Structure 1
């Protein structure tokens, strides 16, 4: 019915604009439609394209939603500036002003003077996250394709989000102890393993450091390690629920001027040297995960392409299975070597 309406509409348009008889136009479009239906066309191309687009979109929605309620929410997003470099490599230019202009108050002397604003154009290549392929047999596809693909989409999306969060925390943590990026040590009692627990007084020390660094209180974000969360809950037995809600177990999000988040994938530090371990390095028993402090004003993020790869079962004569995996481009990073910090457990 729709095809017939299109034929009639195009025939009427041809008649109106080119002064061709309506009957002639109708015959012309009808014959053209019949010829098109018998022309050999590649099978499965449109379906495969739509299939990829649908599930790529589902993974994009999953990753976006999963990252929304993490410490990454509120970080300046530069995704719209991502561009291609070379063979599909994705990168972004970030121009950062590292020097603030001097502010004159009630000035009476002119000229005002000139301060050069050094603008660094930095080209940063986005990280590439690739999942290992998951097999889906033809039997599984035809029997319950939506349920199977939903499961695959969720698992691959979760794996990508987990990797992005872990790498983002590692990037935002300072490499070592400096005046502008202090790495502090905990001062609580030792636990049974000899690790020094965090106590509430350590958060006060960190607040003092943030004050000294002149980090705007509205932009102070603290990501506590799971160990430090447990330490503070342990101490909070004597503080009557100051740190966490006894009814729900939730950690207070606003604490001592910090916007508090928690995670289990914080980066490891060597407490003796106060140096951050390389990403993926195997920690020693004396190395511990650090809680990370950063300023939202000194951080940036960008999300690039999400691509789905799908190998059809018709090309697999032995196992008759489809292979599915995904690639995601993205990055989270500090924009200046300042206004960051960390606090790590020492050893007794």
Structure 2
């Protein structure tokens, strides 16, 4: 009887600990606490059936990482809803195999003959080819959490670590995506325009509605499909329009997704991490490059008909303190695969803040 009572007490303790872990993790990744409680206790039940609960009454390292990985995958899938312009891009997740997507390249477009009188027609081959695109690999550096910390503050520290890793992955994922969608330079099929408004105190020209109309005109002449046109405004350009255009201020209606009402055929969004361009050459700066004196931030335009995004595998890693007797610390890190790219090198554009040259002081008159 005593053994049964002790077993029951141990079971209740394990369920209580697992419930606390599950609820904390679920809150950390943006899900209902009950979902985390059910997930962790479910994993604990499987662990118990396969070999009993762990000595401490909590989950083992393998189960922890499985639970965290599952919750983080759900968070990655749902987080796109908070970035409206990213969500609008077609997802190619279903085509990812081993973190690679295989596209079929059909080669050149078929030639169309008008009022032809010469027969037989010349045969034009359109050979297919395989184009493999590897997803970018994102890894976080391991974060240590000592047993002393966990002993003093329970599992809050670990939940905070997971939350930080998740947030950094999201930030990197979306900033890389908008950078990839921006044209490399001003070209015939990928226009990069400069702003034409009044000069600002920080040495650039403001964005005007006329600049957006000019970009629309470029897209129209390139016969870019009108359906699915997206314009992502950087923070400077949003501020420019808010300061100079009362109509624009009334168009901002969803601060959660950053979406702004349609303007000249574009679905307009706001995003702070848009790429920078060299205002002299109108070439895009490399991702993560140091911003120079001639560099200004841009707003990016694209069509969803020519863009793709895909998420591959996600995995979390945990080394428990029990495997590190010298330091007695846990190590947590993550790895995921994702990509966002143009499908064709057309239907993409940008508007860059023009640099205003500082006024030169008048030269002193030469003394006679």
TM over 0.5: yes
Could you tell me whether the CA contact under 8 Å between 1:173 and 1:293 is conserved in 2?
A: yes
1:316-331 alignment, distance < 5 Å: 316-331=324-339
Aligned length: 306
* Whole-angstrom distance in 1 between the partners of 2:255 and 2:164: 31
**Residue aligning to 2:131:** 122
Please report the TM-score for the alignment, with normalisation by the length of structure 2: 0.73
Shift of residue 67, structure 1, vs aligned partner: 1.9
Which of 59, 66, 72 in structure 1 is aligned with 2:86? 72
**Residue aligning to 1:34:** none
- Cα distance change on mapping 1:272 and 1:247 into 2, 3 Å: closer
Identify the range of structure 1 (280-289 vs 69-78) with the bigger mean alpha-carbon deviation. Answer: 69-78
Shift of residue 136, structure 1, vs aligned partner: 2.0
Which of 283, 286, 299 in structure 1 is aligned with 2:291? 283
**Residue aligning to 2:96:** 82
**Residue aligning to 2:220:** 211
Secondary structure, aligned partner of 1:324:
strand
- Cα distance change on mapping 1:251 and 1:65 into 2, 3 Å: closer
1:171-210 alignment, distance < 5 Å: 171-210=180-219
Could you tell me whether the CA contact under 8 Å between 1:76 and 1:301 is conserved in 2?
A: yes
* Whole-angstrom distance in 1 between the partners of 2:63 and 2:149: 19
**Residue aligning to 2:25:** none
Tell me the C-alpha RMSD between the 2 structures: 3.5
Matched, 1:54 2:67: yes
* Whole-angstrom distance in 2 between the partners of 1:302 and 1:157: 17
**Residue aligning to 1:24:** none
Shift of residue 41, structure 1, vs aligned partner: 12
**Residue aligning to 1:169:** 178
**Residue aligning to 1:223:** 232
Could you tell me whether the CA contact under 8 Å between 2:69 and 2:314 is conserved in 1?
A: yes
Secondary structure, aligned partner of 1:217:
coil
Secondary structure, aligned partner of 2:186:
coil
- Cα distance change on mapping 1:40 and 1:82 into 2, 3 Å: closer
Shift of residue 268, structure 1, vs aligned partner: 0.8
Identify the range of structure 1 (228-237 vs 336-345) with the bigger mean alpha-carbon deviation. Answer: 228-237
* Whole-angstrom distance in 2 between the partners of 1:99 and 1:81: 23
**Residue aligning to 2:275:** 267
**Residue aligning to 2:163:** 154
Secondary structure, aligned partner of 1:289:
strand
Shift of residue 199, structure 1, vs aligned partner: 0.7
Secondary structure, aligned partner of 1:188:
coil
Secondary structure, aligned partner of 2:260:
coil
* Whole-angstrom distance in 1 between the partners of 2:351 and 2:125: 35
* Whole-angstrom distance in 2 between the partners of 1:174 and 1:119: 27
- Cα distance change on mapping 1:332 and 1:247 into 2, 3 Å: closer
Matched, 1:333 2:346: no
Matched, 1:312 2:320: yes
- Cα distance change on mapping 1:332 and 1:242 into 2, 3 Å: same
* Whole-angstrom distance in 2 between the partners of 1:288 and 1:223: 15
